[in-house]
Amino acid sequence: MWEWELAAEWVRGRRIPERHHLSFQIVFMTLTLFPIRLLLIVTMMLLAWPFTFFATLGSSDQEPEQPPATWRKVVDFLLKAIMRTMWFSGGFHWVVMKGQQASPPEASILTLAPHSSYFDAIAVTLTMSSIVMKAESRDIPIWGTLIKYIQPVFVSRSDQDSRRKTVEEIRRRAQSHGKWPQIMIFPEGTCTNRTCLITFKPGAFIPGVPVQPVVLRYPNKLVSVSSWDYGELKILWLTLCQFHNRVEIEFLPVYSPSEEEKKDPALYASNVRRVMAEALGISVTDYTFEDCQLALAEGQLRLPADTCLLEFARLVRGLGLKPETLEKDLDKYSESAKMQRGGKLGLPEFAEYLGVPVSDTLEDMFSLFDESGDGRMDPREYVVALSVVCRPAQTLDTIQLAFKMYGSQDGDIDEDTLSSILKTALGVAELSVTSLFQAIDQEGTGRITFADFCRFAEMFPNFAEEYLYPKQTHSDSCAQTPPTPTPNGFCADFSPENADARRKPFRKKLD
């Protein structure tokens, strides 16, 4: 119960009321208001379904009529009223609208941030904009029909060419001179805790047309409606248990790209993000959707707050290497590293090992592993780090790969080797593994095999929290002025404002 209370205090930086008072409120609301609100929300969705079902009969890929047919205008009006009633039933009694929404010919794309939960759909239902959605969403009972009505751009995970097709469809609609409904895009690509804006994906900016930035604010006293903080089901429960929820939607002036921005979608995205961050009064960070996946991976070795693997992942991308394509090469890299038999590589040999030219980015990556500062690094450490980045939730696969590289002919390792493996896998400078090693090495031989490690991990799935960092807190990670938390749990040292400062001196591996 108090997990939510403490999280709310951390996120909002506010003083929490008396525990017994809050506990009584949650229990009372759960037994009274919550089921009523849930019933009303379901009723509103069921009421909207017949309208959307008959309106979506036929092909959804057909270009909309211009001007819209009268029946379409009537359905739009009714659905907006029903959806607004649904949000009202959920406690969003007043939705504050600021600024003026541009017309489709003025801005065919709306970029919405920060994206923190499914409650952000309030902006979608109030504008009846199209959105970019995964194709599986249209198969959701009732809700899938509501989604199809707004003529979304569907992304298929099973189609390897889906990304290109999605970009082409966005461009086609964006350049239709207002014939299609506006597309509302969440350029962050994932949910955050709203304390900063992560790197925007370029999809909304590739067409090179004007966009209208839209910012969201949830100025609630306690509940920070963020999937990052609580999870989807929990925020639904907590939000419906709060008597009143506030949300502000602000339409910023239309942003028209320069010729340089039209040629460089990443620059265009970065500049729009800065405008939105300034309107929100928050910072920006260079970390991306993929970094969020890495930080939140549900493996047995959850990355601690002071990890350097996020920086390592950024450098991998900076070299033009994509973790999703590198995964199939892990065995090749590990075999090559094993052949070194503990030998170390200099920068030129490391460049040859990766098949990339020597560059500033490669030097930065090299320095992460050059612990002694003598210009040499162990390629096995690179492989372990790369394995974590490529498959962050598959802890045992990474450990098994490490045992193959570091193990003796019998496949066993000692305590120092285990320490080296786990420090690299977690991306930390110091790590005591003595208690963990002794717990695994029950016979006291001073050596353990991967089978020993695997059996222990099955018996104690939370071994990392218990043996490696039981007293770790996140309060010391990445400086930021209290009470504002570190953005998304990420280090802000590499935000665009500090681009020059971050080059020298560069942090050594895991420091």
Which amino acid appears at position 309 of this protein?
A: L
User: Cα angle vertex 348, ends 346, 350, to 5°?
Assistant: 65
Contact partners, residue 298, CB within 8 Å, separation at least 6: 393
What span, in angstroms and rounded, lies between the C-alpha atoms of 432 and 302? Answer: 16
How high is the pLDDT of residue 61?
A: 60
**The total number of residues written for the chain in this structure:** 511
Residue whose structure tokens are 């959605």? 133
End-to-end CA distance of the chain: 36
DSSP letters, 44-74, are: HHHHHHHHHHHHT-S-TTSPPPSSPPHHHHH
How high is the pLDDT of residue 231?
A: 61
How high is the pLDDT of residue 13?
A: 38
Residue whose structure tokens are 């802000």? 492
How high is the pLDDT of residue 509?
A: 41
Q: By the 8 A CB rule, do 449 and 411 touch? A: yes
Which amino acid appears at position 171 of this protein?
A: R
Which token pair is 224? Answer: 């920070």
Question: Domain coordinates of the chain in residue numbers?
Answer: 2-284, 292-498
How high is the pLDDT of residue 64?
A: 72
What span, in angstroms and rounded, lies between the C-alpha atoms of 367 and 382? Answer: 11
How high is the pLDDT of residue 116?
A: 84
The CA–CA distances, whole Å, from 25 to 3, 88, 245, 358 equal: 16, 20, 15, 61
Contact partners, residue 120, CB within 8 Å, separation at least 6: 112, 186, 216
- Per DSSP bridges, beta strands 211-217 and 109-113 are parallel
How high is the pLDDT of residue 54?
A: 87
How high is the pLDDT of residue 436?
A: 92
Neighbour-count burial for 33-71, b at 16+ CB within 10 Å, e otherwise: ebeebeebbeebbeebbebbeebbeeeeeeeeeeeeeee
The tens place of each residue's pLDDT in the chain, 511 residues long, gives 333 333 333 333 333 444 445 577 778 888 888 999 999 999 999 999 999 888 887 655 666 766 677 888 899 999 999 999 999 998 898 899 999 999 999 999 999 999 888 888 899 999 989 988 887 777 888 888 888 888 888 887 666 677 788 888 899 998 888 888 899 999 988 777 788 898 898 889 999 999 999 999 988 755 445 554 556 677 788 888 888 888 999 999 999 999 999 999 989 999 999 999 999 999 887 777 777 667 767 777 777 777 888 888 888 888 887 766 777 778 888 888 888 777 889 999 999 988 889 999 999 899 888 877 889 999 999 999 999 888 888 888 999 999 989 988 778 899 999 999 998 888 887 888 999 999 999 888 999 999 999 999 888 888 888 888 655 433 333 323 333 333 322 222 222 333 333 333 333 444 4
Closest CA to 269 of 187, 169, 175: 187
Contact partners, residue 505, CB within 8 Å, separation at least 6: none
The strand pairing partners of 313, in sequence order, are none
Q: How far is CA 143 from the centre of its chain?
A: 24
Q: By the 8 A CB rule, do 434 and 485 touch? A: no
The CA–CA distances, whole Å, from 484 to 73, 196, 439, 487, 505 equal: 44, 10, 39, 8, 27
